Amino acid sequence: MGNEQSVFFSRVLTELTLSFHIIYATIGVGIPLMIFIAQWIGIKKQDEHYILLARRWTRGFVITVAVGVVTGTAIGLQLSLLWPNFMELAGNVIALPLFMETFAFFFEAIFLGIYLYTWDRFENQKKHLLLLVPVAIGASFSAVFITIVNAFMNTPQGFEFAGGELINVQPIVAMLNPAMPTKVAHVLATAYMTSAFILASIGAFRLLKGSDHQYHKKALFLTMKIALVFSIAAAVIGDFSGKYLAEYQPEKLAAYEWHFETEEGASLLLYGVLEDGNEVKYAIEIPYGLSILAHGNPNAEVIGLDQFPEDEIPPLYIHYLFDLMVTIGMGLAVLALIYVVGVWTKRQFIHSRGFRWLIVASGPLAMLAIEAGWWLTEVGRQPWVLRGLLRTSEAATTNDQVDTMLVLFAGLYLVLGIGSVIVLKRMFRNNPVEQELQDRQEKR
Amino acid sequence: MTYEIIGIAVLWLFLFGYVIVASIDFGAGFFNAYSVWTNKQHILSRIIQRYLSPVWEVTNVFLVFFFVGIVGFFPKTAYYYGTALLVPASIAIVLLAIRGSYYAFTTYGSLRHNGWTYLYGLSGLFIPASLSIVLTISEGGFVNELPSGISLDYWKLFTSPLTWSIVVLSLTSVLYISAVFLTWYANKAGDHLATNLLRKYALIWSVPAIITATGIIVEMRTHNPIHFQRLVDLWPLFGISFLLFISTVYLVAKRMRYGLAFIMLVGQFFVAFFAYGISHYPYLLYPYLTIYDSFTSEGMAVALIVAFIAGFCLLVPSLYLLLRLFLFNKDYVQGNR
Ligand code: HDD
Ligand code: HEM
Ligand code: HEM
């Protein structure tokens, strides 16, 4: 197997592992916050339903955590195994957040262990709730730190090259790179948003399946309110991400938007298909849209792909991913808004089967947007691993057994994926809420 | 002390932490599977589950800490080991995944199936075996640097007696460490049946553990004479380690002070582990990599050490809390809560 093939299979394996890990990681970042909110409300209102909500979410959560840990360990090792040249450089400059991430993991793992096994050990419920704080902080900070590494890959800084040697390394400067603020904020907001929609999906699904229990209605309303807040946040921060790109990675933005010629007052293309290289068809054109998105000014100049050499332009299919992400993002924000306003104004149609099915779809759709978003930004960085410094093709391993490992890991993820779905389904089916509420009443 | 020494000492310490906690975990999984196999499940399972469930994720983080830290402190290891270890490390990941999913699917998800239990028990033996290969490789002679890149000589690796002695050492140590710890734990729980059974396992596995450990030093003589000489120079440390070993076995055999016995055992491994580490100095990979020529940039070194100290200050109280609630808490251990 030649080196080109090593590069190819290393990419596929990285894509596979990350795309799989991100599902569990997103849930892992967001759910602790949701559990915290539910338990907190439960304690404040002395409402058994919210406490039970927290308890049941936790039970599902530990399963996704376990798979998240397993796949995270895989990607952590794979980064060194598949991209040794990149990691050698990364070790010199951006190892600090990776290292701090392990402390976040420690923190999360320790307190999750304690939290799980101490549900009924404290007289004062608030003490038990307090144990969840480090879990939620630890989980969110894993996301913060790893996203900082990823931001660094987009805008590397904090070091100098002199005669092939790295000098003047400043780890803090490397961490505080220009891509960091928007990226970290967007990743966190979308993780919370996605987790809220996933929990909302479950609530809506239960209601559709005949259970008319107050418990599910409370769960649905709570999660939809949270989802609304974070989907608005995600859209606003997403807009800032666009402005960041216009300034620091104009080729990436231009590729997202199929913006070929540098021009003032650029219009924004939505949807459409690309034919014969650079002919856009069937797109919806919004005059001045791109200039507003990029610079907040309808007449601003937006740099196009004509300013960049052919071999530094990312694949143009990422426009479809961008459309997918933004469409889902806008759609879900509207969905949550309608629902929340509908509850406040006591509309009936939000309780209709059709509307509930829409909510059921929201969780999977949000996860799809997460996948689209990561593919978008990672493919949009190509051909670079470290933008402007190290090409993906130069960073890969020279080992020629990557293809076999790809098969091995694909099998593993298949088993883990199927296993977690089966277990989660059984867990909630064999132990319906009504039953559990009754059991708890009797225990009193 | 130089930054290099601080870096490798920190990593070695965490690796030691992993060796101990993971050995307990791996061994326990094996004993659990074995007890299902021999229909003695009622004796052991409860004790094992009770200790393991709250801490398994923490165990894994020790390993993550080590491999993330080593790339931070010694980035060149990513290049050498990363390239060479693709296959063995991938296999270890898959095995670790099997263990992680066992917890997810059976302990939390109540998907009970004896197949998983066996797979889980066996993975506890294969993981140390596959991870210990890294130590073998670090002795040199198996990795070649060619113009086309780094390559690992599998044939030589798998036909070398050194490889197999290290594999056997890792297995016997896992079972020995685990058995001694669980004897103590079962005793605290007041479970006499389990204590007796585990005590028997501890005594059985002590002998092969010490024999294989000695065997490796002998093996080294032909494989890596320089390293052998350095090991011999450190004989007082290995002597201390041996005395600690004798004390543990004595206490366990006399059914006395199991807690102290376990502390002696940790001491034995600690001394031997660090003696081995010191004798390896300054090489990370004979003869290509030393801790000096692979070290990270100075700015990063300082940052990592500061981050480490800060993190450590958070970590120690949290770990203490965990141990207090699950290890030293009488009610929990005895299953009253
Ligand atoms: C639920 C998921 C989700 C939703 C609804 C959105 N995004 Fe997003 N987006 C992500 C999930 C995501 C992500 C997975 O979190 C990404 C990938 C990498 C990153 O930094 O965040 C991302 C990246 C990303 C980028 C690229 C940043 C870069 O390449 O550095 C831009 C410009 C936007 N988003 C903009 C938006 C806009 C304008 C949205 C309007 C609604 C939007 N996103 C909704
Ligand atoms: C978890 C969310 C992430 C997902 C889903 C993801 C996905 C991807 C995808 C799809 C590619 C392939 C691009 C291509 O081949 O054209 C890629 C590339 C890459 N990503 Fe990410 N990524 C994520 C986060 C990160 C982070 C945080 C890092 C760094 C620590 C990282 C490191 C890399 C590297 C080294 C490559 C280069 C290999 C390649 O081009 O395939 N990724 N990633
Ligand atoms: C290249 C990218 C990544 C690497 C190397 C990586 C590494 C890891 C590792 C090693 C673990 C296991 C930790 C343990 O043993 O407890 C893990 C788990 C986790 N990762 Fe990732 N990760 C990556 C991408 C991401 C991203 C992009 C996010 C968030 C958006 C994320 C969030 C998490 C979380 C929250 C956990 C804890 C497990 C859980 O709660 O589900 N990771 N990751």
> For A293-305, what is each residue's pLDDT tens digit?
888 788 877 787 7
- Angle at which helices B225-233 and B235-253 pack, to 10 degrees? 70
Residue keyed to tokens 């338990």: A39
Q: B residues 101-120 near A, CB within 8 Å?
A: 101, 103-105, 108-111
Neighbours of A305 (CB within 10 A): 21
Pocket-testing residue among A140, A325, A370, A378, ligand 1, by greatest number of atoms within 8 A of Cβ: A325
Are A74 and A21 in contact, with CB atoms under 8 Å apart? yes
pLDDT of residue A147: 94
Chain B positions touching A116 (Cβ under 8 A) are: 54
In a domain, A53, yes or no: yes
Which of B15, B65, B66, B93 is the mutation pick for testing A, counting most A CBs within 10 A? B93
Q: CB distance from B54 to chain A under 8 Å?
A: yes
Whether residue A117 sits in one domain with residue A76? yes
Contacts of A282 (CB under 8 A, 6+ apart): A271, A272, A273
Q: Do A422 and B326 lie within an 8 Å CB cutoff?
A: no
Nearest chain A residue (CA) to B71: A91
β-pairing verdict for A263-264 and A301-302: antiparallel
Contact criterion met (CB below 8 Å) for A18 and A409: no
**What distance separates the 2 farthest-apart alpha carbons in chain A?**
75
Of the three residues A380, A405, A423, the one that is the final residue of a domain is: A380
Question: What residues make up the domain containing A210?
Answer: 184-248+250-380
Q: What is the pLDDT of residues A168-193, one digit of tens each?
A: 888 888 889 898 999 999 999 999 99
Which DSSP state fits B336?
A: -
CA neighbor of A366 nearest in space, from A194, A187, A189 = A194
Asked if residue A387 belongs to a domain, the reply is no
Residue range A342-367: mean pLDDT, rounded: 88
Q: Give Cα A290 to chain centroid, integer Å.
A: 25
Contacts of A78 (CB under 8 A, 6+ apart): A13, A14, A17, B90, B93
- For chain B, the straight-line distance linking the first and the last C-alpha, in angstroms and rounded, comes to 47
Mean pLDDT by 10 residues, chain B (337 residues): 86 90 87 81 72 74 88 86 85 87 70 74 86 85 79 83 87 90 84 83 87 83 82 86 88 84 89 86 82 84 88 86 74 63
Which is higher by pLDDT, A319 or B107?
A: A319
**DSSP string over A345-392:** TT-SGGGSHHHHHHHHHHHHHHHHHHHHHHHHHHHHHTTEEETTTEEH
Distance CA B90, CA B206 (A): 31
State whether B68 and A98 contact (CB < 8 Å). Answer: yes
| Share of residues in chain A with pLDDT > 90 (%) | 30
Taking CA atoms, A335 is separated from A205, A209, A324, A339, A443, in Å, by: 16, 21, 16, 6, 40
Residue A385 lies in a domain: no
Chain B residues inside the 8 Å CB shell of A424: 109
ipTM above 0.85, yes or no: no
Look at A66 and B79 and tell me if their CB atoms are within 8 Å.
Answer: no
Q: Which range is most confident: A134-138, A405-409, B204-208, B220-224?
A: A134-138
What are the residues facing B144 on neighbouring strands? B151
Same domain, A10 and A46: yes
Enumerate the β-bridge partners of residue B152: B143
- The type of residue at A115 is Y
Going from the Cα of A21 to the center of ligand 3, the distance in angstroms, rounded, reads: 7
Amino acid symbol at B253: A
Please tell me whether residues A199 and A343 are part of one structural domain: yes
Whether residue A228 lies inside any domain: the answer is yes
Q: Are residues A64 and A173 in the same domain?
A: yes
d(CA A395, CA B55): 37
B231 by DSSP, 3-state: which? helix
Judge if A10 and A130 occupy the same domain.
yes
Of the candidates A93, A97, A130, A94, the residue with the CA atom closest to the CA atom of residue A111: A130
Angle between helices B114-138 and B86-102 (to 10 degrees): 150
Q: Are residues A100 and A153 in the same domain?
A: yes
CA B283 vs. chain centroid, Å, equals 21
Specify the number of domains making up chain A: 2
Q: Which residue has the higher pLDDT, A348 or A334?
A: A334
Instruction: Check whether residue A362 and residue A236 sit in a common domain.
Output: yes
